[in-house]
């Protein structure tokens, strides 16, 4: 009788067993990966699609994520407090968000480039993952409500209809795009955002000849909530930082890019606020660019409405698509339900009478963005520090014994 190890039939059976075990492990790994992917909540459609990116591309992604419709509400929010307090708040919020962005980068790098929502789940458990989901949901609701209100005003100015009719027309078009899933590529969205930057710079140049610094030098504290909230909303870009890190493949390079990625947009925002306040002062409108018609007539009105038309449309579609995906992937909703809870509540609340563009942006920034981009990263960093200190103390005790 042959030895079992030398028996061909025995070898064939063992090979089949090993193959089945490998197949089972592969399926288990796939399930884990799908589970981890479902926890990666999004707030932007801009994503890194290449294995390796340059420093310039990385910077473009971070700046492109920040530049959007939120900047349109900054001059109005700044007008509620005056130029000096507004600049102080803007750079103070930038410093705070930069700090939490660097925390998020460090934690992501330690976990192989994990998304911030995945980190929340790993460090804080299911409660952390759900808190992140709810925070992003609140932010998305506030943003979409503000965009519906803003576009109502824009379409009314362009086509002579009422604000409500304009808002409904925009909602029908944009929400249909969301349901059909006609998602623009990250590259196309970046191109649109760079066009927006050039338009903002052009608007600043149009305003400077009419500037009077004395119009901006006043102080009011009653509008502090608005400028804080809109600043947080306009500067959040934490969700793309892990992708940028993986694309660059270097913690040090990514850290430098993140710092520049906050300084450059904040400087543009500050100049944008400065220009409007020096021309319009406390009378700056909710969608600041619409005031250009007062200086340049029909041409100014066209430019002043085209900018928010493009910025709000792209921002609405990007945020709504991201939130719809979050509900489908994280909560396992069916697409019709995910679409409904994404786009219907903002329209209902708008029709109920909540129509202030800048104030709603402030609400979104002071609730959802505050939790997702400031409070949660700080809590996660604290938990990380505590766990590391416990490990250090344990290893020290073991060596002492």
Residue 103 lies in a domain: yes
pTM: 0.81
Residue 64 lies in a domain: yes
Predicted pLDDT at 389:
87
Quick one: three-class SS letters along 156-189? Answer: HHHHCCCHHHHHHHHHHHHHHHHHHCCCCCHHHH
Which CATH number does the domain housing residue 95 bear?
A: 1.20.1740.10
- Positive or negative, the CA dihedral 72, 78, 84, 88 is negative
- The whole domain housing 154 covers 44-380
Predicted pLDDT at 181:
72
Residue 310 lies in a domain: yes
Maximum separation of any 2 CA atoms in the chain, in Å = 104
> Per-residue pLDDT for 290 more than 60?
yes
Residue 30 lies in a domain: no
Are 324 and 342 contacting, i.e. CB atoms less than 8 angstroms apart? Answer: yes
Higher pLDDT, 114 or 262: 262
pLDDT bin (cut points 50, 70, 90) of residue 338 is very high
Mean pLDDT score, 1-7: 52
Q: Dig out the tokens for 74 from the structure.
A: 């900054």
Predicted pLDDT at 183:
54
Predicted pLDDT at 325:
83
Predicted pLDDT at 70:
81
Residue 394 lies in a domain: no
Predicted pLDDT at 20:
63
pLDDT bin (cut points 50, 70, 90) of residue 240 is confident
| Mean predicted lDDT score pLDDT of the chain | 84
Residue 107 lies in a domain: yes
Query: Residue 179, class by beta-carbon neighbours within 10 Å (0-12 exposed, 13-18 middle, 19+ buried)?
Result: middle
Virtual torsion, Cα 335, 341, 343, 346, nearest 10 deg:
180
Instruction: Give me the number of domains the chain comprises.
Output: 1
Tell me phi and psi for residue 136, to 5 degrees: -65, -35
Q: Could you report the per-residue pLDDT of 19-74, keeping only the tens digit for each?
A: 665 555 555 444 444 444 445 666 655 555 556 778 888 888 888 778 877 888 99
Residue 245 lies in a domain: yes
Residue 329 lies in a domain: yes
Q: Is 41 helix (H, G, I), strand (E, B) or coil?
A: coil
> Per-residue pLDDT for 274 more than 70?
yes
Q: Could you report the per-residue pLDDT of 141-181, keeping only the tens digit for each?
A: 999 999 999 999 999 988 989 999 999 999 999 999 888 87
- Positive or negative, the CA dihedral 48, 50, 54, 60 is negative
Mean pLDDT score, 215-227: 90
């Amino acid at each position: 009788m042959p030895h079992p190890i030398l028996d061909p039939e025995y070898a064939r059976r063992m090979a089949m067993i090993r193959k089945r075990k490998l197949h089972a492990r592969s399926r288990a790994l796939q399930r884990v990966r799908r589970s981890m992917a479902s926890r990666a909540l999004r707030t932007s459609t801009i994503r890194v699609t290449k294995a390796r990116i340059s420093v310039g591309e990385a910077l473009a992604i971070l700046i492109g994520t920040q530049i959007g419709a939120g900047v349109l509400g900054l001059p109005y929010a700044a007008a509620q407090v005056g130029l000096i307090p507004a600049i102080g708040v803007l750079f103070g919020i930038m410093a705070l968000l930069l700090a939490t962005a660097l925390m998020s980068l460090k934690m992501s790098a330690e976990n192989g480039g994990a998304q911030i929502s995945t980190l929340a789940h790993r460090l804080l458990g299911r409660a952390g993952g759900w808190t992140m989901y709810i925070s992003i949901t609140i932010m998305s609701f506030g943003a979409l409500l503000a965009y519906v209100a803003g576009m109502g005003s824009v379409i009314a100015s362009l086509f002579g209809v009422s604000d409500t009719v304009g808002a409904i027309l925009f909602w029908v078009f944009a929400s249909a795009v969301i349901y059909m899933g006609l998602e623009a590529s990250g590259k196309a969205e970046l191109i649109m955002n760079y066009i927006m930057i050039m338009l903002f710079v052009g608007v600043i140049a149009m305003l400077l000849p009419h500037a009077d610094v004395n119009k901006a030098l006043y102080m009011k504290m009653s509008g502090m909530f608005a400028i804080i909230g809109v600043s947080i909303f306009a500067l959040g870009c934490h969700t793309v930082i892990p992708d940028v890190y993986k694309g660059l493949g270097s913690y040090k390079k990514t850290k430098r890019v993140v710092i520049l990625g906050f300084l450059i947009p904040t400087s543009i925002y500050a100049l944008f606020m400065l220009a409007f306040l020096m021309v319009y002062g406390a009378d700056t409108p909710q969608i600041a660019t619409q005031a250009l018609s007062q200086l340049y007539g029909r041409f100014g009105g066209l430019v002043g409405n085209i900018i928010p038309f493009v910025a709000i449309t792209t921002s609405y579609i990007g945020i709504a698509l991201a939130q719809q995906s979050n509900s489908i992937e994280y909560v396992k909703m069916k697409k019709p339900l995910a679409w409904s809870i994404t786009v219907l509540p903002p329209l209902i609340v708008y029709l109920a009478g909540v129509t202030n563009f800048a104030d709603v942006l402030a609400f979104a920034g002071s609730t959802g963005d505050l939790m997702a981009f400031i409070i949660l990263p700080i809590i996660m960093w604290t938990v990380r520090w505590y766990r590391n200190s416990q490990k250090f103390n344990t290893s020290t005790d073991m060596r002492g014994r």
